[in-house]
Structure formats: C-alpha cells, structure tokens
Structure 1
Amino acid sequence: MTVSEKSVQTTDDNNEKEDSIGLKTFKLLATIPTYAGVKTFSSETNGDNPSVLSIQVILSQRDLKRKLKRLIVKQLVVSLPTKGSSDTVAKVITSSFLPIDLGDVVLQAESPSGNKLLILRCVSNDKGKKSFVEIWDKGNLKQSIDVTDSHGDFYSDGTFGSLKWAKNEEKAVYIAERKALDEKDEKKCDFVPGWGEKFVNKRVSVIVIVNVLESKVEVLPEFEKIVPGQVFFGPGDKTLIFNGYNREPRYYGIYACINRLVGIYQTKLDGTDLVHLTEQLEHARSPRLAPSEKVLTYYSNPISGPHSYCSELREYNFSTNTHRVVVPIVHTPSDSFQNGFPGIYNDQMARKSFITFDDKEFLIIQSCWRSRGVVLAINLDTGKVQDLTSTGSWSLFIACNNYIIASRGAPNDFPELYIGIVTGYQNDTLKVDWTCIDKPNIEEVEPILSKITWSIIQPIPDNKNLEVIYVKPNETSENKKPPLIVCPHGGPHGVITADISLSITTLISLGYVVAIVNYTGSTGFGQDSIDALIGKAGDLEVKEVQASAQYFIDNGLVDPNKVIVMGGSHGGFISAHLIGKYPDFYKACVMKNPVLNIGGMATITDIPDWCFSEIGLPYSLTNPPIVKPSDYKLMYENSPINNIDKVKTPTLLMLGSEDKRVPHNDGLNWYYYLKGKGDVEILCKIYKETGHALDSVDAEIFGTDIVIKFLEEKIGKLE
C-alpha cells in the first residue's frame, strides 16, 4: 500500500540518510497541487451570458526543495451552453498548463467590460521591496504606477483584502497597510498592535483609490475607531462600502474568529461622510452587492462567546434603508425546516457569489452540513436554502451569471474542479448540471488512494451532535487488528469535513485506522450544539472523544492495546485531558500547539476572550477584564495541567515558535515538568518561523517524519 523504495527519489543531495517509506509517501502526496483560487474572463459574450469562458485556475504547489508553497497558474477555456439550449453540459475546449508562478502578483481583477486588467504587484530585490499598480488594456501594459512611497504592503487576505473596479472603469479601489511613519515622527514609538495569528503585520489598513484616467492613486484618510477591509463601489459608483473592524479598546485575533466587533460602513469616494449602515448590530461582516444593486447581503451573529457561530444572512435595502433577515440562525436542525438544514457556517462569502435566473437573484455560498462541505443556493426573495451538492465535500470559488465553479474531494481523493450550469428553476429550486473540468494528475499516488476507504458514523446513536469520519485501509489482516489514531479537531467550534489530509493519508497507508471526531460544539450541527459546550470545555467533549475511541474497541475494529490520540490546538487540549484522565488507555499521544493551561494562556494569547468564554466566564470586548484569582482557579481546574501528575502516556509535543494563538510558554512548562518528573517519556519539537497551524513546508516534512518514527517506536512497525 505504501510507495515502493524506487517510486520517488526524495533524499536531499546533502542528506546521507534516506527517507523512510512513510516520509516518501508523504512527499509523493505533497507533489499533487491543490486548488487555491479561480478567476474567470469572458472571451465571447451574449448579454450577461458568456458562451466561451476563460478560466484561470490558481494552484497551490509545495516546493519541497525550496521548502515553500508556490502559487502557479493553469488556463482552461470552457464552452458554455447558451440559455434555452437543449445542451446543458459545459465542455473544455483547451487546457494548457505551464508552471507559471504568480510570483510577485499580489492581486488581479478584470474590469467589467473584460477589456482591462488591474494588477497589484510587489517586487523584491537586494534594495528592498517596490509596489506597483499595473493597468493592462487588451493585453497591453498601459500604465504602471509606482506606489511604494504611497502606502505599505497590499492586503490580499480574505478578511481585509480587496481589489475592485468601478463599473465605468474610470476608478478602482484596494486595501493596503498605511505608510510607515517617518523616523522623525514623534508617534513612531506608539504601540500599534497587529491582528494576531496570521495577521501579525497587519495593523492599520487604508483605502486606496486608483484614478485610471489620470494614472495616480489617492490614499484616503485613516478612520479614527475602525480599520477598513473588503472595500468596493456602492450603487452607481457613487460611494464606497466596506467592513470596519473596531480597533478600540484593543485588537483581538480575527483568524477563525467571527465574534468580533465589526460593522458595514459607507462613505463618499473621498472617504468623508462616514455612515455606519449596520449600527443596530454589534457584528456584521462580508458585505456583497447584489447584481441589481438594490440590496446588500451580509452575515451577522452575536459577539463574544464561542469564536464561531451559526450566522444569519441579512439584507440591506438601499431605497428603503431597511434591514431584514433572509436566513435565520438555526438552533436545532429539523426535517420540518429546509430539509434538516443546520444553518450557515461560513467566514466570508465568495467575492463573486450571485446567480441571476429568470430575474430572481440567488446567493451562492459555501458552508458545512455536519461533516460535509457543501455549496448552497439561497433565494434572496424567499429565503429558501438548497444544497446543490451530493457526495463528497465541496469548496466554492465563484458564482457568476449562470455558472458556479467549485471543487469536490474526499478523504481518499484529491479535489477535482467542477463547473455547474444553472439550466432551470422550478418550485423554488434551481437545476444545476455539474461537469468536471479539471483534475490533478494522481497517477503516481493512485495506488495509495485506491486502498483507502471512509465513512461517517455516529458512535453514540442518541447523540446527533457527534460524528466521526472513519478512514481506514480497505484491506486489513484478519488475524491482526490495526492500531487506532483518534483525532479530535481544534476550535473547539470548528469542524473537519470529509476532505483529504496528506498526513492522515500517509498514516492510513502505513496501516493505521484514523477516527476524526466532530464532537458537540462543532460547527455544522446547529447553534444549540455549539452553545452546549460553553462552560463544559474540558469535560463534555473529552468524554465524547473517549466514547468514540471506545466504540471502535467495543466493535472489534481495532487493537485495544494500540490506541493513539493526536490533536492540535483545542484538539491538543482534548488529547492532554485524555492522557490525564485515562492514563492507561492510550499507548502514545501527539500534541500540536495544545492548550494546556487556560489561565496561563489568557494573559498572552491574541484571543483572551476564548479563555473566559469556553469555561463559562463573561468577557466584554469593549471593557476587557483581567484574570482574577477566582477566574484562574476555574481555568486551572478545567485545564489539562490539573491532571498532569496522572500522565503516563509517552508524548510528542510539537510547537510553533511564532504561535500567537497558543504561545508555546505553557507547552514548554508541560515539557519541563514531565522531564523533571522523570517517569514519563516526553519529546518536544519547536519549528522556527512557524505559527499555530504548523503549516510551513518545513514543519510538515519534519513533523510527519517525527510522528511516524515516534509512533513506530511506541507501538512497533506495522507490516
């Protein structure tokens, strides 16, 4: 099932030690690029329905030699069926793949007419970095504006980043970091925080207007209490609309946190006359202007509390200045409401996310439906929600005119790219015909993937908030039961959907069985499930993960003497709790940036509110509290550190040196204590220049290698 010794050469020229079979398998899987984005360009048009579509597919490719992830481009030309045609299938006309590295291109956007292209480019050399705004017209570079001295770095992330044209194509707008203060400026020493994990160098963003006709940019003044993001032109190109994140009294980490103080604002084109469009709400994010320009859609949910909520979809009407709820927060899924629809779980809408059919506007979004990623269509008039996908797990890239582009994958299959053509509408339901238009070349890894099977199970029949994605080799020895790796996810209010994971696929190929546990508190199961964990963290989900592990033993599926627990972040929190509360159950434990002492974390993390909320303590984002002795006592009692003296399980601890979410201080304290105790094997690895996710290529390679070796040492090498 694993790759052969000769199937791939992975040994570095300067490394005399040959890779293990497991690491060779991981590196071979890592050669497969994954879909990171899609841009579409209309080649021929018929009204609002292009007949030929040029698709720029952006792929993320690991470069194992240089130890980095690169963005490369593939071009597809697709013929679309014309409206009313009996032929409803899209056809790929040409597919060309040259490994063109996007390199210094930060963002790009096609103009509404399709004739112009705007590119934000950042060029680095020995003398430093220079930033340019390029305007291309019908394939020719017409303007290149040096903006190096106008502002700081361009923003391209999904939370703040934006690059939008005005409909008349005379202006464009984007987001950048404000210009660095002059050395003589007395404010240069003022403390200005960053936005935490993955946003460390983002501090004060500004809106930048590109005047296409005059070949210049204008940086709008900063706003006193908010920082802008996701800016675009309002109806008729007369205003700017954007998200504004509160910067007072402090910056809170925003990565994977949708419970922040944020609103939707509107200004004139010069940044004056600021209006808070969602003043009645504490949280409103991801504004999107419908094609008719009559309404603005956005998400809203409560603040503080859990970091991820079921969101409601709301709509703002420009003519009446009124708001309404299109899709409410779903507390408990029911067959009587939208066929068991569990609610919306989506950080940001796609930048192009509307379909118009028979004069009806539909918002197309990505969400999770229990343990599956899905693509949903929402009728903005009726609020009807429709799941457009079937088997596998889906990710949405773009929805425009009458087509949708998304990818579909599974735990034993790399994602493939699909285009869905909307061909009909009846009984408040869209008819969408899906066609696969691109797939990765998996010939070399097919022998690995073909020997993996998976299913979603419910280990406790009367607990509908608990699901396990069960991934295993499809052939196991009748005489020898396989070892089990139990993997609770982080968050805790997140979810692992049924997608491929390189590390898990590698472990399956070596003969392990993996149980990915989506416990109570996971997203995709209704808001009541999320709320059920608040105040019970460290107890409820720990018991459910333990019950899930016991399920596999009780059903004779695994070797009861070879059970391993492995998790990161809150998954590491659960793992540490398990080896403290069930010290003789687990043969080995792997923890990645785990939460070990909530009280210690509360004073150094970018999300201090998490430390209060998860154990049921109040926290005000506008008046942040300090940790009182009584608070610390409760935090300590609910933390794994409370049971550290009971730990017997050999443990591999993996930490990121730049982790802002769960800084490694408490991880090292855990390590030092067990080392001093002397009767527990503890191994610690720290990965430099790596954050909370441990997702650098270097951390992936060396992390996979050490995990494989550690597990083989503890349970023996599998045949």
Structure 2
Amino acid sequence: MEESAKKYLKITSYPSSTSAWIRPSAIDGQWSLTVASEVRNPIEERKITQSTTFILRKTESIRLEGRLQGSVRVTNECSECPPSFCVQAHDFGRHSDTAWFTLFCNRNKTFGSLVWSHNERKLAYVAEEKFCKSPSFFNQGASESGSQAKKGEGNAWRESWGELLTKTSATVVSVIDTDTDEVLILDWIPESDSPSQIAWAPDDSGIIGVAYKKHPFRLGVVYCTNRASQIFFASLSDKGYRYLSHENRSVREPRFSPSGDKLIFLECEVGGPHAQTSTLASVEWSSGKWSCLVPLVYESSGDFSGVNGNATLLPLECFSSDGHYLVFNSVHQCAWKIFLLDMVTLKLSCISPELDDSYYCMGFNYDILVAKVSNLLNPNGISAALWQGHLDLKWEVLSEMRRCEPVPTGSSVRMLLSLPASSIFGKGEEKNFHAILTCLPKSGSMKYPLVLFPHGGPHSVFTNEFSSHVAMFTACGYAVLLVNYRGSLGTGEAGVRSLPGRVGVQDVKDCYDALLHVLKSEDFPVDKEKLFLYGGSHGGFLVAHLAGQYPNTFRAACVRNPVTNIATMTDATDIPDWGFVEAGMLYEPGKYGDPEMMKVMFQCSPVSVIDHVKIPVLLLVGDEDSRVPPSQTYSYHRALLSRGVKTKLYNYPDNHALMKPSVDGDVIMHVIGWFHDAMLS
C-alpha cells in the first residue's frame, strides 16, 4: 500500500485550473492572462491555490512571450463552504495602509457574488441575512443591544438550501459605496426570493440576479438545475423590483453583452430530472423582450447535443469585443466542447479542435479565448486562440497537458461511442449510449483487471477530462470502464427523459452491456475473472444493483454514499422530489407516497435484490451528507451483515462528495486495498 500511497500523492500534486481572466498589460501590445489553479494536499489536509500569469501578444494568432508564477494561498479543508468570509479592501491614497471596510459574503458558488460597479465606486455582494441571537426564557437581562429578538427562539429551525448549503437560508444583497463607506441593504427584495448570481445593470442603476423561490419550502439547489427561479432587477434609485424572465422556469448564469443591450441566461423546466438540457435565452434590456437563442435539443445531431453539462456553461466573460459572438461550453457525447454562436444569424459552430480531449472555455475577453485541455489520464494544460471573425482558429498551447507519471507509459483512453442498447420496454427507448475505457498497454498475453464505474446523478455524464480516481486505478494496474448509460447528459433531452420510471433496469442493463462489449472485443486485454464495481450516489445505486443482479460476474464492490432504498430516502433528503421523479411518478410538495408508490420505489431499489449479493462490499459514507441520507448506507451495511456477506464500512465527517483532501485520499486507498485483497482471495 505504500507504493499506492506514493502514486496517489503524485497524482494529486498536479494543479487543476479553476478560473482565468485577461487584462491589458502595462506594455503596449501585450496582454496578461492569469490562471488560478488548485492543488489538494492530503498530508497537510488543505488546499493550495496558486496563480500563473502568461504574457501574450496578438499577431496573426496568439503568441506566448513570457510566464510568471504568481501568489500561493493555503486554505484549511472544510466539509462545506462557511457561510461567510472576510474581504478587506485598501485605498492607500485615503486611508494609508489600513483596511477601510470589511464585508462578509457567501463563498459558495451557488449564492456567492462579489461584483464592482462599472465605475468601480460601488461594490455589491450577496450575504446571509443576520439574525439576532435569541435569549433564553430564563435570561433576566436584555437581549442584544437594539435587538427585538423574542426570548426562547434560539432553537427555532432555519430551513437551508440543502447539500453544501446547510448554513445558507436567507440571502440578501448589499451595496457598499466606497466614496462614503455607507452600506445599503436591498431590503425591498421580496422575502419569498433568495437572491444569487448578481451583476450590475449596464448603467449602474441597479442589480440583476437570480432569485430562487422559497415557496412552499426550500429544496436542495446544488447539482440541481430544475429549481424555480427568475431573473430579477432591483432598482437603486426608486427601490423598484421586477422580473425579467418567465414564471415557473429555472434560470441561471446571467451575462450582459458588452454594450449592455442584451442579457443572456440559461433556462430550463422546473421539476423533472435534476439536470436537463437547457435553452439559451436573452432579454432586450431596453424593451424586456424575451427571445430564444439556442432552443432545447431533443435528439443529438452532428456535433451538438444541446446546451448541457454538470459545470458552469457560460464563462463570466463570454462575448467577442463587438458583441456579435458568444461562446459557451457544452458536453457532446463524452467530451466538453466549446461552441460559438453568431448573435445575428444564430448560427452555431463548434470551435474546439477535432480531438477526443475535453476543451473547456474559462474566458473570452478582448477577443482572446482561453481553454483548459485535458483527458482522463493527463492533467490539464492551457491553450489560447485569437478570435478574428472566422472559424479557422489557431490554438496556441501555453502549457502542455502533463503526462501523469504514475500512469504506465502507453496507457490510452478509448471512446466507445454509440454502443447498441438492449430493448427492454419496447418503446420510447434510446437506441444507443456511450462509454469511455482507459486501457493499459498490451504486453504479450497479459490481461488486466477492470473497474466498472457508473456515474451518479443519474442525469450527469462522464467526460474525457482528468480524473484523479481514474488515473489512480490505471496507475495501480486496472482498466476502467466509465458508462454514460441512457439518461445521461450529452445526447439530447430525449436521452435524459428516457430514464425516469426505468431506474434499476435500463441504467443497470446499459452498464452490463457495456461490460460485455469490452469483454467480447479482442482489442481490450481484460481479465473477465477480475472484474470490480465502483461508484457513488446513483453510481452506488447501480453498483449495488449490479452486485445483486449479476452475482457471479464481479469479485468485489465499493460504494460511496449510495442510494439503496428510494422509498426510505424521500423523507430524509434535501431533494425529496428526486425519488418520485426517478421512480416515474409525479412529485407534489408535502404529499406522502401511498403504499403502492412506496412499493414501486422499493422494487426499483438495490435492496430489492440484496438477497443475491455474494461479493465483498466496501461502504464509504459522509455523515454530513444532506443529499443521500447516511442512513441509506448504514441500513444496507446491517442488511449485508445479517446475510453473512463480507462487508466493511468507513464513515467520515464530510458531505456527499467525500472530497476533503484527507477524506478523498483515505477513500481511494481503502478502495484499492479492498480490490487487491479480493483478487488474492
């Protein structure tokens, strides 16, 4: 295990780019590109954020002229972002070397916002509303100074926004005037709205943003793009408030065009699958007229499968200088691609190179496109291109994709596209699905063990971008099969909608069919006697199903925060609608499922086939998980023990993703050890 630990430390030492911004340099004709990256340090149990600045010059293309290593910042690990953090701003002209204001705002990506006005004299931010501490009934003294808090309210429950946001309940927008040091709270925003993702209106007359709806109660929003929300405008001059997008829709990622005449954003249906294919919409700022720029795509065609993906799709800076072109990221089949939209003709073009690697745009400003490039086995590099009004882009490599040293030389990534799907239900089924296989180099007659790895969601997707877990498995001698079963993103909305009502059957069969495809092919040296299962959340749901439905196929299984019984999950999760939707039922807020509904949920859950599980099962659970209740894992563990199945459980003070630097390392080491022991038994 010491060698495995060394491999993991090396794999996690590669930085992962998180953001980029472009600005003119002090030297005429040069441009400064700063890329921020993050490294997880499992030994010191913290993250390290660093920045690298590239000096660029525009010629017929982008030319790299220099590179500078920037600042390094260390942060302690935490299971979720704290509700606030402190930002200090300095004005050395007025206040010498002292901070002249301190503000607190959300660090979480869903609600956190911190934006300067266009004249850079005001700063707007989103913060958690402060509640006065309530004294005890038996406290004879006064409440906090100036507080009107009632006694005995200290333990009143404050509903949160769920997973990763358990300390976020009621957000407010505040504006700091840097000339007067005054703070204005936009208290005319309705209490029914929780503002997020804010930006300044073009003339600094007010704030626009996304307002999440609290009625009748809050539902988890992280990883969920189907929550009721609207684009709002809050006027600073007359304290007006109005909506710019339609009711009963879900919106996100608002961006203004350079001239400020258009506001674009992503929009999709409320309810239904938690991740969907989106519409790209716009609103004319002067008239409020709504229009559709990129419609919903039901069937994938050519190189476009609709606006979709489980990350930010619109870079913060996403327009060409003249505002005529817009770029966005989207998943097509098994890779991230960059698309360019002509705002006049609405013609759409893919501008990523024709490679299997994933290209993800981090910024488009001053007509310079910046992308991070990676594949499953190679950490990301940075490329840039100059937009000159035509599609013949010349991508300049600013930093190469690094070879992940622990991965054996000659290992490769194979895209298994359009695998034929089995007909199970007879109608309304997609015809094919996709998968990705990491292969180790052929060596005579040697065959390798394989890890079957389905993704969670279920409406998510595996893309050909660097994964520390896939690299770790490959470095330890395993081929890895990642399955984008029907219901995944990347194939159009029809594919997404094909799965609800069929979970536990269609997705399980696709995973098994993908495995059979690999085993039957002579191109892949896989040992059919050494097959393993690994997955988390809905991926854990599928692993538990596969272990029960195909008990003689696999040697061992490892599951992370798995859904094991949908019927018992619905009342304890931050997304109670999920179980109803995936079981093929209509969700009505506050309504309990009747016995027949509970029966259907149970029958499509892994617990329905637990009597057939024979293989050793390792369970890994985060006790702070709000998405899949930890009780799902504990009850499944007890059920395995009572049936005499070899099983072990590790629990961590972490949330659903189990991605604290120390936790992630401990998890993958236990998984590698569990598989190794199973091969020897």
With the length of structure 2 as denominator, give the TM-score of the two structures. Answer: 0.90
Counterpart in 2 of 1:293? 260
State whether structure 2 residue 394 is matched by structure 1 residue 433.
yes
Task: Give, in angstroms, the shift of residue 138 of structure 1.
Answer: 9.7
CA distance in 2, matches of 1:306, 1:637: 20
Counterpart in 2 of 1:373? 336
Q: 1:352 to 1:147 in 2, by over 3 A?
A: same
State whether structure 2 residue 416 is matched by structure 1 residue 457.
yes
Work out whether residues 38 and 55 of structure 1, in 8 Å CA contact, stay in contact via their aligned partners in 2.
Answer: yes
Bigger Cα displacement from structure 2, 376-385 vs 131-140: 131-140
Map 1:173-322 → 2, pairs under 5 A: 173-183=124-134, 184=143, 185-186=149-150, 188-221=154-187, 223-269=190-236, 272-322=239-289
Counterpart in 2 of 1:61? 39
Q: 1:647 to 1:369 in 2, by over 3 A?
A: same
Counterpart in 2 of 1:592? 560
Bigger Cα displacement from structure 2, 701-710 vs 132-141: 132-141
CA distance in 1, matches of 2:344, 2:198: 25
* Aligned CA-pair RMSD: 2.6
The percentage of aligned residue pairs carrying the same residue is 25
Deviation digits for residues 494-524 of structure 1, max 9, x if unmatched?
A: 0010012222212212221110001100001
State whether structure 2 residue 518 is matched by structure 1 residue 552.
yes
Q: 1:289 to 1:140 in 2, by over 3 A?
A: farther
Task: Give, in angstroms, the shift of residue 90 of structure 1.
Answer: 2.4
Map 1:132-143 → 2, pairs under 5 A: 132-136=87-91
State whether structure 2 residue 51 is matched by structure 1 residue 92.
no
Work out whether residues 599 and 635 of structure 1, in 8 Å CA contact, stay in contact via their aligned partners in 2.
Answer: yes
Map 1:485-500 → 2, pairs under 5 A: 485-500=451-466
CA distance in 1, matches of 2:615, 2:44: 36
Query: Which residue, out of 533, 547, 558, partners 1:565?
Result: 533
Counterpart in 1 of 2:370? 405
Deviation digits for residues 337-387 of structure 1, max 9, x if unmatched?
A: xx5444443654445333325x45222111111100112112222222221
State whether structure 2 residue 484 is matched by structure 1 residue 484.
no
CA distance in 2, matches of 1:626, 1:568: 27
Task: Give, in angstroms, the shift of residue 325 of structure 1.
Answer: 0.6
CA distance in 2, matches of 1:686, 1:271: 53
Task: Give, in angstroms, the shift of residue 597 of structure 1.
Answer: 0.2
CA distance in 2, matches of 1:130, 1:417: 30
CA distance in 1, matches of 2:297, 2:92: 47
Task: Give, in angstroms, the shift of residue 649 of structure 1.
Answer: 1.4
CA distance in 2, matches of 1:280, 1:658: 34
Structure 2 letter corresponding to 1:93 = G
Task: Give, in angstroms, the shift of residue 30 of structure 1.
Answer: 1.3
Task: Show structure 1 runs of 5+ residues with no match.
Answer: 1-18, 105-121
Work out whether residues 316 and 323 of structure 1, in 8 Å CA contact, stay in contact via their aligned partners in 2.
Answer: yes
Task: Give, in angstroms, the shift of residue 140 of structure 1.
Answer: 9.8
Q: 1:344 to 1:713 in 2, by over 3 A?
A: closer
Task: Give, in angstroms, the shift of residue 439 of structure 1.
Answer: 4.6
Work out whether residues 541 and 574 of structure 1, in 8 Å CA contact, stay in contact via their aligned partners in 2.
Answer: yes
Q: 1:208 to 1:476 in 2, by over 3 A?
A: farther
Deviation digits for residues 437-473 of structure 1, max 9, x if unmatched?
A: 235776xx43636332111013734665411101021
Provide the secondary structure at the position in 2 that maps to 1:486: strand
CA distance in 2, matches of 1:239, 1:366: 29
Structure 1 letter corresponding to 2:559 = M
CA distance in 1, matches of 2:204, 2:98: 22
Q: 1:236 to 1:465 in 2, by over 3 A?
A: farther
Counterpart in 2 of 1:158? 109
CA distance in 1, matches of 2:540, 2:175: 45
Query: Which residue, out of 464, 470, 483, partners 2:437?
Result: 470
Provide the secondary structure at the position in 1 that maps to 2:676: helix
Q: 1:158 to 1:141 in 2, by over 3 A?
A: farther
Query: Which residue, out of 375, 383, 386, partners 2:349?
Result: 386
State whether structure 2 residue 590 is matched by structure 1 residue 624.
yes
Work out whether residues 305 and 332 of structure 2, in 8 Å CA contact, stay in contact via their aligned partners in 1.
Answer: yes
Map 1:606-685 → 2, pairs under 5 A: 606-620=574-588, 623-678=589-644, 680-685=645-650
Work out whether residues 299 and 305 of structure 2, in 8 Å CA contact, stay in contact via their aligned partners in 1.
Answer: no
CA distance in 2, matches of 1:27, 1:333: 40
Work out whether residues 393 and 498 of structure 1, in 8 Å CA contact, stay in contact via their aligned partners in 2.
Answer: yes
Provide the secondary structure at the position in 2 that maps to 1:356: coil
Provide the secondary structure at the position in 2 that maps to 1:561: strand
Map 1:46-85 → 2, pairs under 5 A: 51-74=29-52, 76-81=53-58, 85=59
CA distance in 1, matches of 2:253, 2:406: 42
CA distance in 1, matches of 2:394, 2:42: 38
Counterpart in 1 of 2:380? 415
CA distance in 2, matches of 1:577, 1:216: 58
CA distance in 2, matches of 1:608, 1:342: 27
Counterpart in 2 of 1:9? none
CA distance in 2, matches of 1:657, 1:91: 47
Work out whether residues 196 and 606 of structure 1, in 8 Å CA contact, stay in contact via their aligned partners in 2.
Answer: yes
CA distance in 2, matches of 1:217, 1:147: 11
Task: Give, in angstroms, the shift of residue 166 of structure 1.
Answer: 1.5
Task: Give, in angstroms, the shift of residue 644 of structure 1.
Answer: 0.9
Bigger Cα displacement from structure 2, 181-190 vs 60-69: 181-190
Provide the secondary structure at the position in 1 that maps to 2:533: strand
CA distance in 2, matches of 1:177, 1:40: 31
CA distance in 2, matches of 1:258, 1:271: 32
Counterpart in 1 of 2:138? none
Q: 1:347 to 1:316 in 2, by over 3 A?
A: farther
Deviation digits for residues 227-263 of structure 1, max 9, x if unmatched?
A: 1011111121112111000112111111110000011
CA distance in 2, matches of 1:160, 1:571: 27
Work out whether residues 656 and 694 of structure 1, in 8 Å CA contact, stay in contact via their aligned partners in 2.
Answer: yes
Counterpart in 2 of 1:26? 8
Structure 2 letter corresponding to 1:502 = S
CA distance in 1, matches of 2:232, 2:393: 35
Task: Give, in angstroms, the shift of residue 401 of structure 1.
Answer: 2.2
Provide the secondary structure at the position in 1 that maps to 2:656: coil
Query: Which residue, out of 482, 490, 503, partners 1:524?
Result: 490
Query: Which residue, out of 10, 16, 20, partners 1:38?
Result: 20
Work out whether residues 455 and 482 of structure 2, in 8 Å CA contact, stay in contact via their aligned partners in 1.
Answer: yes
The aligned length equals 650
CA distance in 1, matches of 2:334, 2:531: 23
Task: Give, in angstroms, the shift of residue 33 of structure 1.
Answer: 1.5
Q: 1:143 to 1:227 in 2, by over 3 A?
A: farther
Task: Give, in angstroms, the shift of residue 431 of structure 1.
Answer: 3.7
Counterpart in 2 of 1:14? none
Structure 2 letter corresponding to 1:364 = V
Map 1:340-355 → 2, pairs under 5 A: 340-345=304-309, 348-350=312-314, 352-355=316-319
With the length of structure 1 as denominator, give the TM-score of the two structures. Answer: 0.85
CA distance in 1, matches of 2:570, 2:84: 37
CA distance in 1, matches of 2:125, 2:237: 14
Bigger Cα displacement from structure 2, 431-440 vs 410-419: 431-440
Q: 1:431 to 1:281 in 2, by over 3 A?
A: farther
Work out whether residues 173 and 210 of structure 1, in 8 Å CA contact, stay in contact via their aligned partners in 2.
Answer: yes
